[in-house]
Amino acid sequence: MKKFLFILPLFLSGCTTITFFQSPKTLDKGKVEISVGMTEIGGCGGTFNFGLYEIFGQMRIGIKEKSDIGFRVFGKPSNIGFEEGGFVGIYGDYKKQLTDGPFYISRVLGLSYTYPFLFSVHPTIVMGTENFYSAARVIILFVGPQVAGLVPGLTFGAFIGKKFLIVPEVGVLAAMEESRVFLNSYFSIGISIRP
């Protein structure tokens, strides 16, 4: 548990990607969607001092019927270096659509590695329409071979437009330690080019 208390402040100050940024409807085979954006994060414990958490770019590709994959690069620049709050990472996921529209349900399994020190797994269930989504997920944090923390969360977002879309997303993430719960809210905004 002491390792979890050590990793929690690092996670909340920036270690792994927290943006979800995808519809529950998978892309058709061979179609590509490209997105860029940024995320700000703030506490829910009486203060809402939002600050930059991550900048990201991602690409999704339809690989077969009701399945697509996604790749993301993410990070936070720092004037001093990675030891003082900056980080960079990669993320990939596989999404399987479970239902047909107009209301979709999909499961997503994502994996990420953040330099200099963190590996995470992102199992998610996402529901909604092609343009509005909500996701229930858990981010499982690993430092070396050991689980360092579990961070459940809820996410809500929208794709506004047709081919060139504005994408706002909000969410709440919770980290639990014995009888204490640490909450953070976040806001992402980006653009996406959809086929």
Dihedral of CA atoms 31, 33, 34, 38 in degrees, nearest 10, equals -160
- Please determine, for residue 10, whether its predicted confidence score (pLDDT) is greater than 60: no
- Cα–Cα distance measured from residue 95 to residue 180, given in angstroms and rounded to the nearest whole number: 33
Instruction: Place 112 in a pLDDT band, splitting at 50, 70 and 90.
Output: very high
Say which CATH class 2-193 falls into: mainly beta
Residue 49's pLDDT band, with cuts at 50, 70 and 90, is: low
Specify whether the CB–CB gap between 182 and 161 falls below 8 A. Answer: no
Mean pLDDT of the chain: 86
> What tens digit of pLDDT does each residue of 139-188 get?
998 887 888 788 999 999 999 999 999 999 999 999 766 667 778 899 99
Q: Which pTM was predicted? A: 0.86
| Token couple for 31 | 């179609």
